[in-house]
Structure 1
Amino acid sequence: MENKILCQSCGMPLDTEAVKGTEKNGLKNNEYCKYCYENGAFKDSNMNLDEMRNNVKNQMKKLELHENAIQKAVNILPMLKRWKS
């Protein structure tokens, strides 16, 4: 299985430059997606892990993804850089 680079906030694959977040200087960030990180900061800096879990579940359900895929995505969240304590 190939190693994919994932957003270290939501777990979304960062497989194209278009989905990567940006720094204040406009350069792409290789750790976070554009939905979580923009202009050098998290879009929702007050979001906690439980809120991110709900957000990921809701977005994946909208895409009609299989429940196993949704659960797998939610399970990796605590291991991502933003949520490690």
Structure 2
Amino acid sequence: MEYIALCQSCGMPLSNEEIKGTEQNGLKNNQYCRYCYEDGAFTKPTMNLEDMKNNVSTQMKKLKLPIYTIQKAITILPTLSRWKNK
């Protein structure tokens, strides 16, 4: 099974270069997606873990993903780098 890195903020698969966030110099960041991280900074720096859980749930519901999938995504959020030590 192929390993696909996850955004260390929202858990989105970083399956291609277009989805990856960027550093200030324009280089791609391999840890965060473009929705969470642009130009070397978080797009929503004051967001907390509960906000992210709500955001992920809302976005996944819009995609009509199964509840099991949504719950699994929310469960892994606290293990991601952005939230691990908070």
Q: Classify the TM-score, shorter chain.
A: over 0.9
1:17-32 to structure 2, matched below 5 A, reads 17-32=17-32
Query: Counterpart in 2 of 1:48?
Result: 48
* Residue 82 of structure 1: how far off its partner (Å): 0.2
What aligned pairs does 1:1-85 form with structure 2 within 5 A after superposition? 1-85=1-85
Q: Gapped runs of 5+ residues in structure 1?
A: none
Equivalent pairs counted in the alignment come to: 85
CA RMSD of aligned residues (A): 0.7
Shift of 1:53: 0.1
Using the aligned pairs only, state the percent identity.
Answer: 65
TM-score by length of 1: 0.98
Question: Runs of 4 or more off by more than 2 Å in structure 1?
Answer: none
Distance 2:33 2:58 in 1: 17
Q: Return the TM-score normalized by structure 2.
A: 0.97
1:3 positional shift: 2.4
Spell out, residue by residue over 1:52-77, the C-alpha distance to the aligned partner (whole angstroms, 9 max, x if none). 00000000000000000000000000
Shift of 1:4: 1.7
- Tell me, in whole angstroms, the C-alpha distance in 2 between the residues paired with 1:58 and 1:65: 10
Q: Which runs of 5+ in 2 are unaligned?
A: none
**Inter-partner Cα distance in structure 1 for 2:79 and 2:16:** 22
